[in-house]
């Protein structure tokens, strides 16, 4: 039986944010901040070497509001403005990815997560690892899809398969959006149901499977739950259903994704070295041979 091809999808903004806050600031002699790019590349190189991927693609957010902001005006409203040090490093990261001939996807109106979900949907017979700095992508995990995320440090990694998601959250990957409908998500300002914590949410989802099943039973008053929990769920039904829609990744974004365009390895080593010298990443030049394509 032929082995499945392996694709790495980079959740680029999440990695850059994580690297920016995890590493000391770096700056070139010309004043260009580079610490986030450096950390991004450390993770990328580790993923490429660990996973021996056949294909690599990168997804980015844009500055524009998304359909979620139209759905809920306070979506991500509590987030501070992205530090200028990260913003200035996004074009540099894209330049490096271009040198590696790694395709970059970004689309106004949707998030990188939606692009990731769409690419996963377009490659059903491929083994996929989503390289990310957060847990949002765990809802996509299945037999073919895993999330390769960072642990405590920039070099520590954890791979979330189905069992690991259940172990961490107490629900199956396909139930993560229902789980978030109840718990909310403080990082994205998704409200959830007031008074329902993670443990209670996992118990409820374990009992009813989906939010729809839960509210169907609440409507007929057959749900077997504590009176206080019932009251909170009924009172916050609208918030729960909206939160589920906010947490659900869109998997049908109109993008021209072709897997063969993402084949990794055919890049110009001299061009990469030239950019790394400009960024003063001399130590990374010596790591290039670790890439399986070279």
CATH of 173-247, one of 1.10.10.60, 1.10.10.10, 1.10.390.10, 1.10.150.20: 1.10.150.20
For residue 221, pLDDT beyond 80: no
DSSP states along 241-259: HHHHHHHSPP--------G
Predicted pLDDT of residue 94: 97
Residues 100-137 pLDDT 10s: 999 999 999 999 999 999 999 999 989 999 999 888 99
Which residue did the predictor score with more confidence, 21 or 289? 21
Task: Calculate the average pLDDT of the chain.
Answer: 91
Look up the CATH architecture of domain 6-169+249-289.
3-Layer(aba) Sandwich (3.40)
**Residues whose CB falls within 8 Å of the CB of residue 122, separated by 6 or more in sequence, listed in order:** 257, 259
Residues 250-265 pLDDT 10s: 999 999 999 999 999 8
Of the ranges 16-20, 170-174, 217-221, 270-274, which is most confident? 170-174
Distance CA 99, CA 294 (A): 15
For residue 291, pLDDT beyond 50: no
Distance CA 79, CA 81 (A): 7
**pLDDT band per the 50, 70, 90 thresholds, residue 1:** very low
SS3 18: helix
Residues 144-177 pLDDT 10s: 999 999 877 666 789 999 999 999 999 999 999 9
Encode 88-150 in three state secondary structure: CCHHHHHHHHHHCCCCEECCCCCCHHHHHHHHHHHCCCCEEEEEECCCHHHHHCCCCEEEEEE
Distance CA 191, CA 243 (A): 6
Contact 189, 77 (CB under 8 A): yes
Average pLDDT over residues 173-196: 95
For residue 179, pLDDT beyond 80: yes
Contact 173, 182 (CB under 8 A): no
Average pLDDT over residues 1-8: 78
Number of residues in the chain: 294
Contact 249, 116 (CB under 8 A): yes
Q: What angle do CA 137, 142, 37 make, to 5 degrees?
A: 35
Distance CA 194, CA 101 (A): 46
Alpha helix (H) ranges present in the chain? 12-22, 35-51, 67-71, 84-87, 90-99, 112-122, 162-169, 176-183, 198-208, 211-219, 227-235, 237-247, 269-278, 282-285
Least confident of 53-62, 73-82, 188-197, 271-280: 73-82
| Per-domain residue ranges of the chain | 6-169+249-289, 173-247
Q: Which among 200, 278, 199 is positioned nearest to 232, based on CA atoms?
A: 200
Share of the chain above pLDDT 70, in %: 96
**pLDDT band per the 50, 70, 90 thresholds, residue 3:** confident
For residue 289, pLDDT beyond 70: no
């Amino acid at each position: 039986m032929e082995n499945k091809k392996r694709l790495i999808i980079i959740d680029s903004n999440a990695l850059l944010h994580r690297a920016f806050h995890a590493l000391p600031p770096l700056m070139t002699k010309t004043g260009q901040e580079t610490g986030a790019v450096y950390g991004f590349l450390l993770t990328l190189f580790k993923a490429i070497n660990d996973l021996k991927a056949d294909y690599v693609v990168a997804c980015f957010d844009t500055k524009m509001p998304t359909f979620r902001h139209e759905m809920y005006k306070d979506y991500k409203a509590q987030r501070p403005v992205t530090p200028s040090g990260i913003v200035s490093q996004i074009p540099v990261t894209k330049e490096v990815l271009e040198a590696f001939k790694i395709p970059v996807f970004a689309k106004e109106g949707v998030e990188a997560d939606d692009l990731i979900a769409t690419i996963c949907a377009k490659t059903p017979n491929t083994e996929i690892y989503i390289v990310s700095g957060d847990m949002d992508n765990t809802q996509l995990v299945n037999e073919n899809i895993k999330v390769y995320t960072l642990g405590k440090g920039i070099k520590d990694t954890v791979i979330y398969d189905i069992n690991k998601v259940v172990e961490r959250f107490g629900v199956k990957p396909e139930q993560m959006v229902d789980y978030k409908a109840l718990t909310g998500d403080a990082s994205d300002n998704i409200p959830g149901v007031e008074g329902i914590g993670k443990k209670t949410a996992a118990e409820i989802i374990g009992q009813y499977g989906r939010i729809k099943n839960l509210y169907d039973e609440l409507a007929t008053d057959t749900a077997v739950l504590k009176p206080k929990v019932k009251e909170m769920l009924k009172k916050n039904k609208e918030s729960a259903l909206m939160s589920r829609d906010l947490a659900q990744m869109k998997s049908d974004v109109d993008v021209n994704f072709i897997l063969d365009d993402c084949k990794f390895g055919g890049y110009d080593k001299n061009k990469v070295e030239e950019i790394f010298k400009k960024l003063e990443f001399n130590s990374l030049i010596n790591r290039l041979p670790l890439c399986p394509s070279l």
